[in-house]
Amino acid sequence: MLVGKESFCDFHTIQEAIDSLEQQSSTKHETLYILSGVYEEEVRIYRSHLTIIGIGYVEIIMNRYAKELGETGEEIGTFATPTIFLGGSHLILENLVIVNSAGQGKDVGQAVAVYAHCDETVFRNCTLRGHQDTLFTGPLPPAPKERLVFGGVHLREHHHQYRQLYQNCYIEGTVDFIFGGATAYFEDCEIRSLYPGADTIGYITAASTPKGQKHGYVFRNCYLTAASNVPAVFLGRPWREYAKTVFVDCKIGGHIHPLGWDNWSDAANEQTVCYQEQGVQNADELRKHRVPWAGCFEKEEVTLGKEHVFTGSDFWKREGK
């Protein structure tokens, strides 16, 4: 199936193609190709067993934001803002640029580019652009901190596990721009911090790893970079108290705050989080400055390859045919 602006294409919008595919059996793996172009649309995908491949430069862009007022006159909230929502499993996305262009500031708040409420999903050679809350890796925590309900995109399916692999991707943002509860593995990715605005602190991750889940976020052979005007950025802070995040053999730029990690203004989190850096350069010097409650700088004590993190599955090896 082919999406594009040309007359020979099956569909001219991505959502039209998805709607058609979701009327078919979801047990057969289908492939959707998208021709080069900029697609200004919100995309909602509930289907499983699907590969989406961009041909050339394919950009999917929208500008919804948390402070935006909905039909009832109330703010729509973070989880109503994604440019793309993924709700199924056995998904592959390749060569896509996914953007939330709402910008940043107090009048904007959070603005999600990708809402990945999905299992056994692979992102390859994708670019995710946004500011605060660029990438949400489901599941949601049991309850919100401030609102009665999370709201946002309707969730039709809940998965037993949420396993996601990001390979050779570029992800940018300012505050908590990779957040959520998934077991998510980032391999050979560039993680770029943007200027968060005056008097605002930047944070790369805000994991909400469920209690008892063996792995949260694993960054392996990634590159942590920043725009030229970015002040010190923290590696992460816990959106929920059992957050797990580890950086393994990553190249870390000078923009990272010497303390490394933040406890989200709650010292109790220091007793429950699992934050680690392994195989980093200048480990002896970094150890002098990092918060004492974060993990060691030694070589990994356990194997953190994909095979170990995603025990019992090899979903990243499947060709989707």
Task: Summarize the confidence of residues 258-279 as an average pLDDT.
Answer: 95
Domain ranges of the chain: 28-317
Annotated catalytic, 176?
Answer: yes
Token pair belonging to 132: 């605060």
- The CATH number corresponding to 28-317 among 3.30.565.10, 2.102.10.10, 2.60.40.10, 2.160.20.10 equals 2.160.20.10
Q: What's the burial of 143, exposed, middle or buried (CB within 10 Å: 0-12/13-18/19+)?
A: exposed
* pLDDT above 90 as % of the chain: 86
Instruction: HSE, CB side, 13 Å, CA atoms: give it for residue 220.
Output: 16
Token pair 């700088």 is found at 297
Please write the tens of the pLDDT for every residue from 123-167: 999 999 999 999 999 999 999 988 889 999 999 999 999 999 999
Task: Summarize the confidence of residues 75-91 as an average pLDDT.
Answer: 97
pLDDT at residue number 321:
43
Dihedral pair phi/psi, residue 315, rounded to 5°? -60, -25
Beta carbons within 10 angstroms of residue 313's beta carbon:
15
Quote the pTM value.
Answer: 0.97
**Confidence bin at 103 (pLDDT 50/70/90):** very high
45 by DSSP, 3-state: which? strand
Calculate the average pLDDT of the chain: 94
Task: Summarize the confidence of residues 180-200 as an average pLDDT.
Answer: 96
Q: Give strand pairing partners of 251.
A: 223
Indicate whether 291 pLDDT > 80. yes
Catalytic pick among 176, 249, 266, 314: 176
pLDDT at residue number 214:
95
Cβ(30)–Cβ(24) under 8 Å?
A: yes
- Give the span between the Cα atoms of 117 and 121, in whole angstroms: 10
Please write the tens of the pLDDT for every residue from 36-73: 999 999 999 999 999 999 999 999 999 999 999 999 99
